[in-house]
Amino acid sequence: MADRRHPPNRLLSWERLQRGWSYEEVADRIRVEMARCQETDTGLSANTVRRWETGERWPDPRYRKHIVVIFNKPATDLGLLTLEELDVRPEAETIAEFRRLCEIMTGETEDGVSRSRVLRGLLGLGALPMLSPLLALAPDTAQAAQQAGDPTAYATIAACHRKMYWSSPARPLYEAAYAHTQLGLDLVRGSAGTAKSAFAASLAQSALLTARLAFFDLGRPAVADRCFDVGLSATREAGDHNLAVAVLGHMAFAPIFGRQPERARSLLDAARQHTWHGVHPAVRAWLHCTASESEARAGASTASRHHIDLATAALDAAEAADVEMPAWLDFFDASRLHSFAGYAALIGGDHAEAAVRLTSALDLLGPEAGKQRSVVLADLAACHPDDGDRQADYLNRALDAVEREWYGTGLNRIREVRPQLGDSPLGCELDERIGALALV
């Protein structure tokens, strides 16, 4: 391979991956744009695009202007400007952009423009929200790296928050994790080199945990969206494809639960692009399980079951390879796979198969998995639509789990099954318990 004359262009590579485009698709889109402008594309190929990303070549000016158009992003966000060209940028503009992005990350801007509107304006409809400029504006100096502190210390706290997720009250843990994520943003902006990448990897984990707490536990999807944005941007800064899969896959749950299958599929497709870059087999297995739930809720039972088969094969490969799983992947194992498989069978109408898989999930869940237990028990209740006593028993056990360890998603799943009991005395008793929990 030719020696690199320039640093790898991770910004361009990441934007391509986020859209699920191959090298050839990028080249084709540039050709179409050049033809529209009545320009020739002599020498442009998929290999040319690959060499731009690896740093073997720098895009010629005749291509750069069209790259900006097809990605609908400025040249700075695509890594297309040389250091000499970046030096031309006015200092006032840099400061203004930095402040503007900070305002966006905190919610409403001073002029009343919402985060979602700003993102749509900057990135175009359908583009994935990426706020990497917020992480990239720090000066690359040794002094900045020293001021940022120790990446190991920040990572240790993020890991402790993650372990506490399974046994701590959701709201105070969310507040601590959110504050740690905000701290991580400052640390990434104030660091450089390898320290910047290390901080970014831990920031992605902290942002992912905060988003999960906001979305699954506390029912705050807008906050979750904001944290997912930070996490996704941090994975790019860290160059961590495993974490990128996790963030994008989690982002898909909002449209999955909201009955927006096409939006969910686009996010899952973007996540799948990252699996081509050597991610852990267990990460692939979890992504297939997430896709299975997406297809199940969309009514595509065959596709849902196919994803479960792929997930099973990937998890088997992970166990056979005996490769250590990422420490942050503590929300997925064989019990969770059975849980996803049971739900897929349940939605597909195969109650017997669903009961078998969900019972296996329940048997495999560890003592720390109280949150997941509430979901599995609620799904088991749904497997017995003609047995009110059994349904009520499972739902009451699910409520017991929620009372011990609050989980908003578990309570919502219980509410979904509750109507099957109608106006029976058992159903009325459940209503009292559900109502009391909803006030907590």
pLDDT score of 117: 43
pLDDT score of 83: 66
pLDDT score of 274: 93
440 residues of the chain, pLDDT tens digit each: 344 456 778 888 888 888 888 888 999 999 888 888 888 777 788 888 988 888 888 888 888 889 999 998 888 888 888 766 766 655 444 445 444 444 444 444 444 444 444 333 333 323 233 344 444 444 444 444 445 578 999 999 999 999 999 888 888 999 999 999 999 998 998 888 889 999 999 999 999 999 999 999 888 888 898 899 999 999 999 999 999 999 999 999 999 988 899 999 999 999 999 998 889 999 999 999 999 999 999 999 999 999 999 999 999 998 888 778 899 999 999 999 999 999 999 988 999 999 999 999 999 988 888 888 999 999 999 999 999 999 999 999 999 998 888 888 888 889 989 898 888 888 888 888 888 876 55
pLDDT score of 95: 44
Q: Cα–Cα distance between 130 and 134 in angstroms, integer?
A: 9
pLDDT score of 73: 87
pLDDT score of 126: 30
Burial profile 9-28: b = 16 or more Cβ within 10 angstroms, e = fewer: bbbbbbbbbbbebebeebbb
pLDDT score of 86: 67
For the entire predicted model, the pTM comes to 0.68
pLDDT score of 88: 64
pLDDT score of 213: 94
Q: Cα–Cα distance between 237 and 25 in angstroms, integer?
A: 24
pLDDT score of 51: 85
Measure CA 285 to chain center.
15
pLDDT score of 228: 93
